Structures are given as C-alpha cells and as structure tokens.
Amino acid sequence: MNDPKSVKDLLTTRLLILSNTLSLYSSRYYRQQFGVTMPEWRVMSILASRDGATARDISRALATDKAWVGLSVKCLADRGFLTRSSDTRDTRRVRLSLTEQGREMHDAIMAVARRRQERLLATLPEGSVDVLNLCLDRLQAEAEAMLKELDPSCSDTPS
C-alpha cells in the first residue's frame, strides 16, 4: 500500500470509492424512504446546525457548487422543508431556515445516518475509532494545505 502499483492502490482512489459507495447507498435509501435526494439532505444537514445560513455558506461548508445548492434549496422550499428570508443587514442576501416539517425530516434521516455510522464503526477493531478520526482530520488539513498551495488566495476550503 505504501508503494501503489495502480490507481486502485492510491489512498485518494480508495477514499473516493468508499465515499461513492456510501453516498450511493444513502442516496437510494433516503430517496426510497423519505423522498429526499442526497444533495437535498446535505443542504438540510447544514441548515440544521447553521440556521439562517446562505446558499453561499452552504456551498462553502460542503465544498460544492453554489448552483447545485441553489437547485436543492429551490426543491426543498417548494416542498415546504425550508423558508427563505431577506437578511436584515443586507437585503441582497437570502437567509435559509428549516421549517418544522424540514426539521422533522432532518431528524428522521439523521437517526438513519447515526445507525449507519454505528454499523460501519462496529466493523473496526476496538479502540480504533479515535485513531481513525485523528487520521481523517490530519488528511483533511493536509489536503486543504495542498489546495491553498495551488491558489493562496483561495478561501473556498470546506473547514
């Protein structure tokens, strides 16, 4: 593993495949059980912890395209899961909040996400979860440093 023989052996590829597999599972499950797409769920999850965030805030938090967030926001608003309101200090900015219905949906999906995480972490050796989290934090920090090296003025890092 320290000397990758093919692209499949690269850490980035392995993490991407794991992420894609889990995302595909979640996407199918959330759509079947809740009628919510993965992008919509991600927007809801940010708003649950950052009430009043803007689409730009969400885009930065998820390290994703603002247009993608905008489409998800429109769909969620149309279905009554979130509301839009003008920022009192800057009327050009639109603040987003989950409605009661949106918060209930978020909480139901979050319960499923917690069970999935418990199932995944149960496969790891005892005592390794803290080490895994530390390693992921270090990898994220190094990836952000690498991105900043390419463009020092870039402030669009996810953390």
**Structurally, how many domains does the chain consist of?**
2
What mean pLDDT comes out for the span 57-67? 90
Q: What number is the average pLDDT over the span 30-49? A: 96
Inside any domain, residue 2? no
* Averaged pLDDT, 95-108: 97
Burial (CB < 10 A; 0-12, 13-18, 19+), residue 68, is middle
pLDDT higher than threshold 70 for residue 53 = yes
Residue 59's pLDDT is 93
Q: Could you report how far apart the first and last alpha carbons of the chain are, in Å? A: 28
Residue 151 lies in a domain: yes
Determine the average pLDDT of the residues in 97-102: 97
Range of the domain at 85: 7-123
The DSSP secondary-structure symbol of 63 reads: T
Instruction: Kindly state the average pLDDT of the residues 5-21.
Output: 94
Q: Supply the pLDDT for residue 155.
A: 62
